[in-house]
A and B are shown apart, each in its own frame.
Chain A
Amino acid sequence: MHHLGNFSLMAVVVMCAYAVAASLLGVKRQSSQLVNSARRALIAAAGFSALSVAALLALFLADDFRFEYVASYSAAALPWYYKVSALWAGNDGSLLFWTFLMLVFAAACAISRRRDELMPHVVATLGGVILFFAYMNYWVCNPFGQLAEITAAGPIPFTPRDGNGLNPLLQHPIMAIHPPILYTGYVGFVIPFAFCVAALWTRRLDAAWIQNTRRWTLIAWFFLGSGILLGGRWAYVELGWGGYWGWDPVENAALMPWLTGTAFLHSVMIQERKGMLKIWNAGLVIVTYLLCVFGTFLTRSGIVSSVHAFASSEFAWRFLVFIIFAAILSAALLITRIKDLRTENELEAVVSRESGFLFNNLLLLAACFAVLWGTLFPVLSEAVQGEQISVGAPFFNRVNVPLGLALLLMTGVGPLLAWRRSSIDSLKRNFTVPLLSGVAAGVLLVAFGMRHPYAILCFAMSAFVVVTIGSEFHRGVRARRAHRGGGYGTALFDLVQRNTRRYGGYIVHFGIVLLFIGFAGNAFNKDVIADLNRGESTAIGPWKVTLQDLPSGETPVYDWLGAQVLLSKNDEPVGIYQPRRQLDKATGQATSEVRRHATFQEDIYLVFSGVTEDGRATVHVYRNPLVRWVWLGAFVMFLGTVLTLLPNRSPVRRAATAPGGAALEAV
């Protein structure tokens, strides 16, 4: 089986190299046969890559511990589904899976966009990028390497009786889907990147490449965001520290391309409607993809320490060379095409939808820079000062919370601004109700005793944005009813169907508001630690936690010890919970299994930390307000993104891009 895996991996290398050479030669000789064969080579590479992944999976499922990668991340007693997820538990297998996902995107693109004029150059770019990853996978971190014992007579094959097992923290259902979803997001940006490079290469720099890759970009953005949020959910329910975001370097690595990708999704609208910001958009796509690769580098190189990172590996410098090479090549393309990227229209006013998008982009980029700067500052400090330092959550929160609030504000302000320019009258008309709603919310919160300035601002701005979104829907529905008649619900359905992109976008914005409401809850987190004998209680606000028992048990995979507690609120019993500590038999690693009583008001998060020397249970109780709103926000964002991906029922009237032209949407 490993021969099949290795052969397939080699075939991927060969096919990608052929795709690059044939597409370039095909362009030079104007041979459609060569270009088509290059495209098919990319599709074949996807097939070989699938075979390679299947071969490694088969080794995992067969408990074939002759292979170092299988022995390192699996064990015989592991359930089959964790043997499958062990595929991406380490560096080598995850890179194999990464390459496979990238080839799935590349093949889907090669099939669906086969008649695109940019295709030969897209295939060459995709082939070149994937060739690098496949080369790394085959020669530098091959997951099909066998274990060997070094003896005087030379190395002899060695097969351990069992594997080391999967890190117990990764033995969680979310971990079976979080990495594939996150990777899909990371690799998906290769498609807009390839189209951008192809457009620059061929000087076909109108908005066509952006329109043709809009769905690819959205899909990548959606998967990356979903992966990040799923990671947060996993951290919250599995790690036992009471939070869902720790500003770990690897978390930051995923957040950065998501931020620039978000900026791109907004600024492309200006290029599509007005033929402006061409350089900016091309630059954003390039930066987003380079940040995706840089994130991979951060995770795998070991230059920053992280709980998520794979062990420092020998391929760091090769990855760095690839990033620098890709950055120089992309920058050179961009610079040499600047004359072709001239804007077709000019901005007319500071107070306009266009400038709103510009400021939105600025804030997203500033947030990305702050995250990048904070993530790399320890490396810089060590290089310059020779002293190690840490940059943790207090830094990132202090720098990014104001930027996040400004972005939330822009989420509400943007839709209220008119394209081209907003007059004083329209500003008054559009802003009065949302602004008053926001101010009223703020005043009410202060009157009810809230004193945390950021939280008050966040809730007030959330009210402002929600009213803005509501009024956008209401105005649209009113216009449709005036035009076509019918009930409110029918008009709303009709309205959304006719412009899924716009109204799906508003739903995503609503999801963002819900996320921010959840984030604001962090300002009021409380926790208490108590050592309890049976029958004793500890309290946090109106909540009381009473220890009832200390049950224990074992499964084939782990031993466990629990703290059975009765949770009550205002002395009324709410439920019995049993947070546990588990000891993984294969790895010997102890983990917490937290239990939560979750409502939209707050989570009561119970962690059993262990037993004191005199036999008392140490229970850590967190009272985390509004956490559920984060997960609800994520779900709403999911719905909104799916809606934006759906085609309009009837085409929206496109903008005229001639000078002085303006965009009119069919409402």
Chain B
Amino acid sequence: MRFRSLLAIAATALLTGPAVSQDRYNSADYQRVTHALTCQCGGCNAIVGECAMDRCPSSEPIREEVAERLQAGEAPEAIISMFAERYGLVILSAPPTSGFHLSAWILPGVFLLGGAAVVFTVLQRRRSAAAAAPAAGDVAVPAVDASPEVLARIERDVEQIR
């Protein structure tokens, strides 16, 4: 079993050799590229830089290739484009900002702005409708049937909590 062989490897691990702090996996460019790509294993949808699957057949080779290409001096954007050409847009972790896919980015903003316009319109219309009613400034007008003493107490309490 593969795991058993790993145990054997672990048991006979060499105790010599320098520490390999894998700088090529820790650079900002590596992080940027691996976070712009998604795992293509067929279901997990994980970002390549975050895919935690054991020896993932998709993410691991991609991570390896990204590290190699960055070491060879390729620009991060060029590497991302190369992967998009090889796998199609499905490998990108976010839709492109052009053509039909631009709508993915724009529509939430349109929804928010449209909603804000509706809210403002409703507010304006209802304010006009309420204009006929006497305004009472900041202080609420009690529509309750209460004695002057109670009203005075309420006024006093309201003043205190301000």
Contact = CB atoms under 8 A, between A and B. Distances in A.
B66 interface: no
Contacts of B93: 390, 392-395
A539 B21 CA distance: 9
Contact of A248 (B42, B45, B101, B134): B45
Contacts of B73: none
Interface in A355-388: 355, 358-359, 362-363, 365-366, 369-370, 373-374, 377, 381, 384-385, 387-388
Given A389-B95, A421-B137, A475-B162, A347 B123 contact: yes
Interface string B99-110: 011001101100
Contacts of B158: 664
Interface stretch (A99-107, A147-155, A322-330, A477-485): A477-485
A390 B141 contact: no
A242 interface: yes
A277 B35 CA distance: 43
B72 interface: no
Interface string B1-25: 1011011011111111101111001
Nearest to A306: B45
Interface string A334-362: 00000000010111111000010011001
A389 B89 contact: yes
B138 A479 contact: no
A243 B112 contact: no
B24 to A, nearest CB: 9
A426 to B, nearest CB: 5
Contact of B108 (A305, A366, A483): A366
A418 interface: yes
A423 interface: yes
A613 interface: yes
B41 to A, nearest CB: 10
A611 B10 contact: yes
B52 A241 contact: yes
Interface string B118-151: 0110110011011001111110111110000000
B3 A346 contact: no
A93 interface: no
Contacts of B88: 387-388
Interface residues of A, number: 100
A561 B90 CA distance: 35
Given A389-B101, A664-B154, A535 B13 contact: no
A381 B95 contact: yes
Most B CB atoms within 10 A — which of A243, A422, A561, A607? A561
B134 to A, nearest CB: 8
B10 A391 contact: no
Contacts of B75: none
A370 B123 contact: no
Contacts of B107: 369, 373
Given A531-B22, A616-B13, 15 more contacts: A348-B127, A358-B122, A369-B108, A373-B104, A392-B93, A394-B47, A421-B138, A535-B15, A538-B21, A559-B7, A561-B6, A613-B9, A615-B12, A664-B140, A667-B157
15 contacts: A249-B45, A343-B126, A347-B122, A366-B115, A370-B108, A384-B100, A388-B89, A389-B89, A393-B47, A482-B160, A533-B17, A614-B13, A653-B144, A662-B140, A664-B154
Interface of A: 239-243, 246, 248-249, 305-307, 343, 345-350, 355, 358-359, 362-363, 365-366, 369-370, 373-374, 377, 381, 384-385, 387-395, 398-399, 403, 418-423, 425-426, 429, 475-476, 478-479, 482-483, 527-539, 550, 552, 559, 561, 581, 583, 590-592, 607, 610-611, 613-617, 653, 656, 658-664, 667
Interface of B: 1, 3-4, 6-7, 9-17, 19-22, 25-26, 35-36, 38, 42-47, 50-52, 54-55, 88-95, 100-101, 104-105, 107-108, 111-112, 115-116, 119-120, 122-123, 126-127, 129-130, 133-138, 140-144, 154, 157-158, 160-162
